[in-house]
Structure 1
Amino acid sequence: MTYSPSTNGKLPDTMPIFPLEGAVLLPGGELPLNIFERRYLAMVDAALGQGRWIGMVQPRQNQGDKEDGIQTLFSIGCAGQISSFSATKDNRYFITLTGACRFSITTELEQADGFRRIKPDFTAFEDDLEPEPLDTRQRADLFRALKDYLGWSGYDADWDALENTPDHALVASMAMACPFAPAEKQALLEASSLVTRTRCLVTMLDMARHDEAETVDHARH
């Protein structure tokens, strides 16, 4: 089952959150998820009945960062709407979240059916709903970095399709798909604007390619 994501001019006052290390959702991006834990099946059921909203947020990597036995979270995540849903015979859900707007966590509410819920604050991130476009030079620099990185890594891409992808969706999909560390993905999420996120992404792609090249050189010697 597929849905058309739409805020209808209103973002949620409360929503469930899915803490998952290394899985960052960005505005304009699409995140496929395989849901099988009972508490997160209940989370999806609740979201489907309340606007289809789920907040993706990373737990802090230090396992000692816990309060009352509950792992602490980064303060900024991204709200997404369920845009596709299917259930399997072995009690799994396959869903896709489409990113809409980042949020900061103001209050964590009492858990419901084992999953965590929050009151989000979207005030600082309302520009996510209408992001500033990249200029020609910025977009060209992004494609240069992508081609260099993917070419060095031995991957290919459908460049015609990417050329026709809107700026925010292109940056989101590349930032989410590339194998960056959780802290690096969090930095991309927290970038102040689409333009700033693009600059960070270009820098990370160039650094990753440089690091891989150095690793190969050391291995040869």
Structure 2
Amino acid sequence: MAPSPFALPFERLPATLPIFPLPHAIVMPGCQLPLNIFEPRYLNLVFDALGAERLIGMVQPDPTAPHKEAVYATGTAGRIVSFGETPDGRLLIVLAGVCRFDIREEIPTVRGYRRVLVDWSRFRQDLDTPGEAGGGYDRLRLMALLKEYLQRKGVEINWTNLEQIPSPLLVNVLAGQLPFDVPERQALVEAVTPEERMAKLASLLEFDVVGTVATNGRRH
């Protein structure tokens, strides 16, 4: 897939981002995330983003932190690619995943939403065109685990379409779509390379499958 003519090159990614803390909401490169915006501060965020680079940093709240406003230090940035208004004052937007980032520090704002200084450097390869991951990773094992996982969850999926997706993009899609807990999803966000993400995804799937088998065995 050719890159969007509206996409920013790595060198032009901004030094700061508005952030939208929301559990389970990530937008990995190559993926999309629809959002329903209605709080005044996040309406401000979207309007301001539309007047700039159209980038929003999606971050998950950290449930292990003592401060209720704390978020994980690594997030995913998405570019607004679709925008619509509703009669009751909401905005319906779609983000396209661009690149992950590390938060350096939070900076003061005056429009209600939060803004941070970011470091993109660890995730430069997020802007590369997805291909097959190297390192000899066993995709067949990943797909077998995924099939068993989805069967146990009662989820139906179009396997023909799934099998045509390159492994790195497939893992990015699954990271956002599978019903993982917040820390599990965050572990996938923080895995830098495609190989690391595939290995982490396989571990999460295997842990769930093995745990389910063990539980069912005890019941009998």
TM class by smaller structure: 0.7 to 0.9
CA separation of 1:21 and 1:214: change in aligned 2, threshold 3 A: same
Deviations 1:179-220 (A, max 9, x none): 1111111111111211110111011112112222333444x4
Matched, 1:52 2:51: no
1:132–1:195 Cα contact (<8 Å) kept? no
Q: Identify which range, 196-205 or 29-38, moves more after superposition.
A: 29-38
Partner residue in 2 for 1:116: 114
User: Is residue 72 of structure 2 the alignment partner of residue 74 of structure 1?
Assistant: yes
Partner of 2:181: 181
Q: Does 1:157 align with 2:157?
A: yes
Distance across 2 between alignment mates of 1:15 and 1:52: 10
Cα deviation, residue 63, structure 1: 6.2
CA offsets 1:52-75 (integer angstroms, 9 cap, x no match)? 100011121146325xxxx12211
Paired position in structure 2 for 1:133 = 132
CA distance in 1, matches of 2:101, 2:114: 15
1:105 aligned to which of 86, 103, 119: 103
- Amino acid in structure 2 at the alignment position of 1:6: A
Checking the alignment, whether the CA contact within 8 Å between 1:110 and 1:117 is kept in structure 2 is yes
Give the drift of 1:137. 4.8
**Compared CA separation, residues 86 and 138, structure 1 to 2 (3 A):** farther
Q: Which runs of 4+ in 1 moved over 4 A?
A: none
Q: Deviations over 1:22-55 (max 9, x none)?
A: 2223222222211111111111111111111000
Structure 1 distance, partners of 2:48, 2:156, is 39
**2:19 aligned residue (10, 17, 20):** 17
Sequence identity, in percent?
A: 41
- Quick one: which amino acid aligns to residue 78 of structure 1? T
Structure 1's unaligned 5+ residue stretches are none
**TM-score with structure 1 setting the length:** 0.87
Q: RMSD in angstroms over aligned alpha carbons? A: 2.0
Runs of at least 5 residues in structure 2 that lack an aligned partner in the other structure: none
Does structure 2 retain, via aligned residues, the 8 Å contact 1:27–1:168?
A: no
State the SS of the aligned residue for 1:95: strand
Aligned residues: 213
SS of residue matched to 1:72: coil
2:7 equivalent in structure 1: 6
* Contact 2:24/2:176, CA 8 A, preserved across alignment: no
How far the C-alpha of 1:169 sits from its partner, in A, is: 2.4
Partner of 1:64: 66
Name the residue aligned to 1:147: 147
Matched with 1:42 is: 44
- In 1, the alpha carbon distance for the partners of 2:211 and 2:36 equals 32
Farther-moved stretch of structure 1 (209-218 vs 120-129): 209-218
SS in 2 for 1:12: coil
